[in-house]
């Protein structure tokens, strides 16, 4: 059972060691910006590391939108991140499901996702597993609730596409955690990564506000049950820096009977 955290990108391996994590996730560029990631000088060290690496794509990416001025650069930025993630030996690139604007047809959003995978295939493929993550908010989201997720997978399921399940986003997005893994797997067939977060926002609040596992509005045992059912690696995206995240990782290892990596 691999368990880790979302960390600062400057020295991810040092961040992993500070938390006794065997998995880390980080950004390769400003998550709020449109700049393509630069090649990393530590690429060789990262590729050789025992620590499993995941890259989170910038939040600005929205490949579903009908707005050309967002969608086209989003595709490019996603592909650029996939190439950069492959260069460091990442296990996956996580990207949010995206949304269409109010009044726009969600069906077009799903088709835009299909075109994104077709575009990538034409460009030689992503080169790294792309894991689409469920999101917490909005009325026109592609991956907030499972009815939308099912339509998304109808559009892209023939491509090699993975899924990242965020417990905060699911709960705040209005999906009960009890039995959720089975309902998701019935659609996607797989869960590649769990983002284990508690939620400051209430059930179905639509708020994307992560909390430490022992805080927040979700019974932590439900988060543990999701992880157990998913059988996938875990990344906490929780506050509190090294101490806060190390406590969350320790809690999960204890609950799941997982071992710490050898020091
Ligand atoms: Zn997440």
Q: pLDDT digit string (tens) for 186-234? A: 999 999 999 999 999 999 999 999 999 999 999 999 999 999 999 999 9
What phi-psi label fits residue 124: left (phi over 0), alpha (psi between -120 and 50 degrees) or beta? left
Residue 39: DSSP 8-state = P
Which pLDDT score, from 0 to 100, does residue 123 have?
A: 87
The pLDDT value given to residue 259: 81
Which residues are within 8 A (CB) of 92 and not within 5 positions of it... i.e. 6 or more apart?
54, 55, 85, 128, 129, 130, 131, 162, 164, 192, 193
Would you give the end-to-end CA distance of the chain in angstroms? 16
Distance in Å, CA 134 to ligand 1 centroid? 8
Tell me the pTM. 0.97
Tell me the CA–centroid distance for residue 107 and ligand 1, in Å: 24
Q: How far, in Å, from the CA of 237 to the mean position of ligand 1? A: 6
Query: What pLDDT is stored for residue 262 in this prediction?
Result: 64
- What local confidence, expressed as pLDDT, does residue 263 receive? 54
Residues in the chain where the model's pLDDT stays below 70: 262-263
pLDDT per residue as tens digits for the range 129-143? 999 999 999 999 999
Burial of 10 by CB count in 10 Å (0-12 exposed, 13-18 middle, 19+ buried)?
exposed
Burial of residue 41, with CB atoms counted within 10 A of its CB: 0-12 exposed, 13-18 middle, 19 or more buried: exposed
d(CA 261, CA 49): 13
Q: How far is the CA of 69 from the centre of ligand 1 (A)?
A: 25
Residue for token digits 């050789």?
48
Pairing between strand 193-195 and 92-96?
Answer: unpaired
- CA 104 to centroid of ligand 1, rounded, Å: 25
Angle between helical axes of 220-230 and 241-256 (0-180°, round to 10): 60
Q: Report residue 177 as tokens.
A: 């955690």
Element (H, E) at 35: none
- CA of residue 169 to ligand 1 center, whole Å: 7
Q: How far is the CA of 210 from the centre of ligand 1 (A)?
A: 9
């Amino acid at each position: 059972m691999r368990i880790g955290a979302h960390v600062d990108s400057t020295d991810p391996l040092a961040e992993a060691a500070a938390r006794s994590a065997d998995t880390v996730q980080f950004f390769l560029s400003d998550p709020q910006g449109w700049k393509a990631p630069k090649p990393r000088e530590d690429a060789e060290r990262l590729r050789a590391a025992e620590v499993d690496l995941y890259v989170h794509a910038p939040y600005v990416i929205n490949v579903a939108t009908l707005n050309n001025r967002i969608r086209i650069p989003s595709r490019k930025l996603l592909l650029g991140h996939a190439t950069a993630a492959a260069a460091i030996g990442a296990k996956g690139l996580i990207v949010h499901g995206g949304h269409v604007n109010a009044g726009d047809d969600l069906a077009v959003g799903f088709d835009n996702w299909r075109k994104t995978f077709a575009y990538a295939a034409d460009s030689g493929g992503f080169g790294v597993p792309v894991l689409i993550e469920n999101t917490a908010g909005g009325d026109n989201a592609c991956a907030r609730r499972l009815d939308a997720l099912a339509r998304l997978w109808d559009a892209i399921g023939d491509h090699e596409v993975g899924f990242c399940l965020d417990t905060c986003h699911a709960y705040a997005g209005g999906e009960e955690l009890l039995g959720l893994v089975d309902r998701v797997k019935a659609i996607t067939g797989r869960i590649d990564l769990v983002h284990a977060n508690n939620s400051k926002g209430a059930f179905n609040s639509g708020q994307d506000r992560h909390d430490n596992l022992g805080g927040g509005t979700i019974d932590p045992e439900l988060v543990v049950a999701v992880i157990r059912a998913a059988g996938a690696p875990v990344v906490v995206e929780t506050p509190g820096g090294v101490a806060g995240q190390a406590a969350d990782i320790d809690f999960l290892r204890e609950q799941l009977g997982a071992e710490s990596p050898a020091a």
